[in-house]
Amino acid sequence: MAQISNGHLPTVDSTRITVPVIAGTNRLEPRLRQHTTRSTRGHPTVVDLLLRPTPVRARFRLSPSDLTFLWEECPKCFYEKYHRLGSRPRIPFPSVFTRIDNAMRAYFVGKSTAEVSPLLPPGHLTCEETFIVSHDIIVPGREATCYIAGKTDCLAHFTTGGYGIVDFKTTEHKDARLALYRRQLAAYAYCLEHPAPHSLHLSPVTHLGLLCVEPRQMLTIVGNRRNYLFMGAPAWKPCSIAESEFVEFIGQVLDVLMLPVAPTANAACPFCAYRVGSGRA
Ligand code: SF4
């Protein structure tokens, strides 16, 4: 067994090595470095091994929403965001969508899962925004690790056991980009099934999907012409993604994040052209 303490010269016996250190630090006194790190026949000594810096495993906190459009649109921007090297200009998110989202959560709270879709098992919905965090995701062969932290819109609790994740979207039912949200939902499912200590733990998560509402028509309430209703049929878009597939995808994300320099920018993005043209890149 090896031990580091505030002593004098290194002493070695068959079971213990005691190495002096500078008081209050874990570093060896400089005068002892050469002595203690000398190798025997070219092999590292036990003291060499003790002095070897412990490799620090890079650890990233990923947001589920970044795994959709940001990742898909430009790995360079993704890389720069997570390495705190800058980000593209923010496009203001219209607050009306947040209001619509809040109204949908207020409507569905406590409702039956059949309100979302008859395809879901019987149960009820809870719609408080829930902050969830995963434990560290270790992907074989990757030095770096990451964990996921995000907020769910709505959770389904099935009476026969199991849980579902429902994400509300105000969008066209035929929006081709909806497929990208599979990763976001899979990230939420991973957090619930593999939570960090003290984070919400729900398992198994058996159903994931988007409830898309596309406003199509405007009406007035009879007798109250100062209030309008927007009518839009909901469409349930179930998603599925195997956990192994999700972890494999996270491996690709870590591969990019561990590159020594950012990958190539998206040539179609006008922001980088502006940054280069204005000398800000
Ligand atoms: S091209 Fe440049 S600004 Fe545009 S998304 Fe990529 S890194 Fe960001």
Q: Are 62 and 253 in contact (CB under 8 A)?
A: yes
Structural domain boundaries in the chain: 2-51, 61-276
Task: Work out which ligand 1 atom sits closest to the CA atom of 80.
Answer: 7
| Cβ(262) – ligand 1 distance below 6 Å | no
Which of these, 114, 189, 192, lies nearest to 158 by C-alpha position?
Answer: 114
pTM of the model: 0.76
pLDDT tens sequence for the chain (281 residues):
333 333 333 333 333 333 333 333 334 334 334 433 444 455 666 666 566 665 567 999 999 999 998 999 899 999 999 998 877 777 777 788 888 889 999 999 999 999 999 999 999 999 998 999 999 999 999 999 999 999 999 999 999 999 999 999 888 877 777 788 999 999 999 999 999 999 999 999 999 999 998 888 888 877 766 788 888 888 999 998 899 999 999 999 999 999 999 998 888 887 877 777 776 66
| Cβ(265) – ligand 1 distance below 6 Å | yes
Task: Work out which ligand 1 atom sits closest to the CA atom of 266.
Answer: 1
| Cβ(192) – ligand 1 distance below 6 Å | no
| Cβ(75) – ligand 1 distance below 6 Å | no
Distance from C-alpha of 220 to C-alpha of 216, rounded to nearest angstrom: 14
| Fold annotation for 61-276 | Lambda Exonuclease; Chain A (3.90.320)
